[in-house]
Amino acid sequence: MSTETERVTTDARRARRRERARGIADQASGGVRVLIAKLILVGIVDAVAIYAVLVLVGFGEWGVIAIVVAVATLVNWIYFSRRALPAKYLAPGVIFLALFQVFVLLYTGYVGFTNYGTGHNGSKEQAVNALTASALERVPDSPTYPVAVVEGSGELGLLVTTPDGDALLGTSERPLEEVGGATFEGDRAVAAPGWETLQFAEVLERQDEVTALSVPFSSDPDDGRLSTPDGSSAYRYLSTLEYDEATGSVTDTATGVVYEDIGTGAFTSADGEELMPGWKVAVGFDNFVKAVTDQRLAGPLVYVTLWTFAFALLTVALTFAIGLFLAITFNHPRMRGRRIYRALLILPYAIPSFLSALVWAGMMNQSFGFLNQVIFGGAEIPWLTDPWLAKASVLIVNVWLGFPYMFLVCTGALQSIPAELQEAARVDGANPAQAFRRITLPLLLVSIAPLLISSFAFNFNNFNVVYMLTDGGPRDSSAPIPVGHTDILISMVYKVAFTGQTRDYGLASAYTIIIFVLVAVISIIAFRRTKSLEELN
């Protein structure tokens, strides 16, 4: 009988637990308002996913499309399921982590193995269209096509009337296609559904855009394009470059030179001449090999790398030394007004670094800077234009910005060290220098060493100070890439990718991967070294 009673009691407890769990799940799912908010947010996610799929279909990125669809499906299942309560809280963070961290890293790695850059931005089809469009010549016996300039979704197009009386419409990206429901005035098409026809005054205002507009005659690039000199009549133009899809080559009909696709992302003639623009292709480890073995690039890479290490190490060493000295000074019990001094010392750390760098750049101006005019009595010291003085200036400003951080962490670490240890050292006859070297510094490094490593990694990629203070200058005119004497690796990568006449995203991504490997290796070694300090705890 007792066994039966215990079983009934156990079942009742389980039932109560299930009811309690169900109640928690219902509370977590919320009421009608929460459901409406959930529907709106999930609807936004689905709308973004659908838009991304539509865009990616045009580029043929089927792998990325599959990932987008899978993620959108998973999000819908998580937020409309009662069984995935923990995932409801984890999903946003995981998605943002994947989007802004994992994807960026993977895409950077992918670009590093391609020739992506100036002249190699798009696909082969886009390169063929650009090449044929750049070598257009008007057909001598071309018929005159009456046209109307139209605009839709911010894009200009030509509404063309053929000699047979048909209405065709195309843009610079889309070839001519027949339009249904076009409006005619006499035998001339003047309007098309969904498009706004530009009036004569509007055509005059946008004359440069109109005359630059070139519409493919058909999907075959060799059929030429239509262009209008006045916005009312168009003529057919044929390119002197003919693309042979069967052989994948381009022939210059004017000279007879044949340009082949040899796998380098550009049509190349027998004597090595390339037609630009080209297209993006995978090049394997070519960017990494070129960065290390090409003498024109290896030279700047070596001295920029050495300066980057020197910059990061000297910054960490000087900021730690100054911060520790000030922390010990203002941690002394006889020091009066410690709170005021500490507040003043934190000010450089409280001001945004890019603003401070801009202020220092003005103060260090050779002609009218505060330092030269006031401190040095009108001297013209080239703080930012001499290679060595510019390096010193960058270090001075970076140390000025960084020592308050070290002052704060050293103050906290010193206050956590028991005072009894210092008293015991004095009793044993140790002088202040010995007590600091034998007791204070080792105990301090137990908590400070990881912060020193992270500070080194931060300064290794400290873009703000270099860019705002000197912009990497003064420029090294002998280097084939836009690099200066104060550039560190990250600012050099920025210049390779985004400045100059030729922007090489593939090479910049290869440099980025090299930087990542260097920082990772140094951090791993340094963290392993810090384990020897743990036995002091």
Task: Give residue-wise pLDDT tens across range 36-69.
Answer: 887 888 888 899 899 988 888 876 678 888 888 9
pLDDT for res 35: 72
In a shared domain, residues 144 and 201: yes
Q: Are residues 427 and 489 in the same domain?
A: yes
pLDDT interval class at 8 (50, 70, 90): low
Domain identity same for 187 and 297: no
Last residue of a domain, one of 247, 275, 303: 275
Quick: pLDDT tens for 181-205.
Answer: 899 998 899 999 989 999 988 888 9
Instruction: Tell me, yes or no, whether 265 and 306 share the same domain.
Output: no
Task: Name the pLDDT band for 531 (thresholds 50, 70, 90).
Answer: low
- Token digits for 157? 């197009």
Count of residues making up the chain: 537
pLDDT at 171: 92
Instruction: Dig out the tokens for 37 from the structure.
Output: 């908010």
Radius of gyration of the chain (CA): 34
Structural domain contains residue 335: yes
| 140 in the same domain as 69 | no
Residues 6 or more apart in contact with residue 397 via CB below 8 angstroms: 356, 357, 360, 465, 469
Residue 471, phi-psi category: left (phi > 0), alpha (psi -120 to 50), beta (remainder): left
Q: Are 320 and 406 in contact (CB under 8 A)?
A: yes
Where does residue 13 rank: exposed (0-12), middle (13-18), buried (19+ CB within 10 A)?
exposed
Q: Which residues of 338-354 are buried (b: 16+ CB within 10 A; e: fewer)?
A: eeeebeebeebbeeebe
Total tally of structural domains belonging to the chain: 3
Residues 188 and 253 both lie in one domain: yes
**Residue 140: predicted pLDDT:** 82
80 in any annotated domain:
yes
pLDDT class of 27 with cuts at 50, 70, 90: low
Give residue 151's pLDDT: 93
Structural domain boundaries, residue 179: 124-275
Query: Which of 24-33, 237-246, 336-345, 362-371 is predicted least confidently?
Result: 24-33
Q: Is residue 271 part of a domain?
A: yes
Q: Is the pLDDT of residue 419 over 90?
A: no
Please provide the average confidence, as pLDDT, over all residues in the chain. Answer: 86
Domain end, chosen from 111, 137, 168, is at: 111
pTM listed for this prediction: 0.76
Considering the domain boundaries, does residue 470 fall inside one?
A: yes
pLDDT value at residue 158: 93
**CB neighbour list of residue 336: distance below 8 Å, 6 or more residues apart:** none
Residue 181 included in any domain: yes
Q: By C-alpha distance, which of 168, 157, 159, 277 is closest to 209?
A: 157
What local confidence, expressed as pLDDT, does residue 90 receive?
87
Which CATH number goes with the domain that contains 326?
1.10.3720.10
Looking at residue 23, its pLDDT comes to 59
Q: Are residues 20 and 168 in the same domain?
A: no
pLDDT score recorded for residue 89: 83
Give the pLDDT of residue 29. Answer: 53
pLDDT tens digits along 224-265: 888 998 888 999 998 888 888 888 899 998 889 999 999 999
User: Do residue 412 and residue 318 come from a single domain?
Assistant: yes
